[in-house]
Amino acid sequence: MKTISKITIGLATTALLMIGCGSGSNATPANEATAKPKISEEALSYRNTSLYTEKGTTVPVALYCTDAPGTSKKIKRAFQDAPPMIPHDTDGMLPIKKGNNQCLSCHMPDVASSMGATPIPQSHFLDMRPVNKIVDGKLVKGVDNLQNQVSIKKISDVYPGRFNCSQCHAPQANAKLVTENKFQPQYISKDGAYRSHWNEVVTDDLDTLGKDSSVTAKDVANENSPAGKPLFGH
């Protein structure tokens, strides 16, 4: 009899505990109904304004440099051999058009020193586009890409692909960044912050089939490729 009573009491206690746990998990905190979101929708915007309208929203004023060419301070390059940014006023110089590139009047190598300007590097006087021909209705390529061949020719004028200076070089504004850039460049050369050395190494490592190369004859024949050998007899 005592054993039955102990079992009954144990079952009753277990049931009460289960009911208590179940009711506790479904209980609604007293302050849940009045709880406020910790982050507002306005705070999700970089400008801390409404996401649903531009009314009443103003953006920070971006003040571009007004220093005349030759009088401004050079801007550090973003990284080694990065295109330098424009530190002077560009009013009346942009957009660059065919027959009207005022950048060349100061930055050509033969006059840059006397103008106090950064000279256009030699890399801008290289034509790396191979000349292809059509022979008997078939394309004859100027170089064999599968043989890692390249075409590099020195020219006297700025290469047409680099004529539009503003595609890489841009004027800078004194504006507050919405997100701070914490990138820290590591310059390989001592003067890498203000001078490019790319033209000095542009042809380095192009001899991929040389004696010091890791490319093998089988690589050239594409025998190691899972896709098989290339077509057209290469």
pLDDT in tens, 99-153: 899 999 999 999 999 998 999 998 899 888 888 888 899 888 887 766 667 778 8
What are residue 86's DSSP bridge partners?
Answer: 171
- Report if residue 74 sits inside a domain: yes
Buried b (16+ CB within 10 A) or exposed e, 185-224: eebeeeebbebbbeeeeeeeeeeeeeeeeeeeeeebeeee
What's the confidence (pLDDT) of residue 4? 54
CA distance 93 to 86: 12
19 inside domain: no
Report the C-alpha gap between 225 and 205 in whole angstroms. 22
Note the Cα 35 to chain centre separation in Å.
Answer: 42
Residue labelled with tokens 């079992």: 7
User: For position 46, what pLDDT does the model report?
Assistant: 74
Alpha carbon distance 98, 104 (integer Å): 12
Domain count, the chain: 1
DSSP 133: E
Which helix (H) or strand (E) covers residue 197, if one does? none
Cα–Cα distance, 191 to 87 (Å, whole number): 18
Asked if residue 11 is part of any domain, the answer here is no
Could you report the per-residue pLDDT of 162-195, keeping only the tens digit for each? 999 999 999 998 887 777 888 999 998 899 999 8
Query: Does a structural domain hold residue 88?
Result: yes
The encoded tokens of residue 160 equal 């047409």
Q: In terms of Cα–Cα distance, which of 48, 51, 44, 68 is closest to 59?
A: 48
CB of 128 closer than 8 Å to CB of 134 = no
In a domain, residue 107? The reply is yes
What's the rounded Cα separation, in Å, for the pair 16 and 165? 80
Contacts with 83 (C-beta within 8 Å, 6 or more apart), sequence order = 77, 168, 169
Tell me the C-alpha distance between 200 and 187, whole Å.
Answer: 15
For residues 128 and 139, what is the distance between their CA atoms, to the nearest angstrom? 19
Q: Which domain holds residue 53?
A: 42-120+159-196
Which CATH number is 46's domain given?
1.10.1130.10
Cβ(183)–Cβ(177) under 8 Å?
no
Q: How far is it, in rounded angstroms, from Cα 226 to Cα 229?
A: 9
Query: Which carries the bigger pLDDT value, residue 55 or residue 91?
Result: 91
Does residue 90 belong to any structural domain of this protein? yes
Contact 205/212 with Cβ under 8 angstroms? no
pLDDT digits (tens, 9 = 90+) for 11-20: 566 655 555 5
Is 138 domain-assigned? no
Domain presence at residue 212: no
pLDDT score at 199: 74
24-42 pLDDT, tens per residue?
555 555 555 666 667 777 7
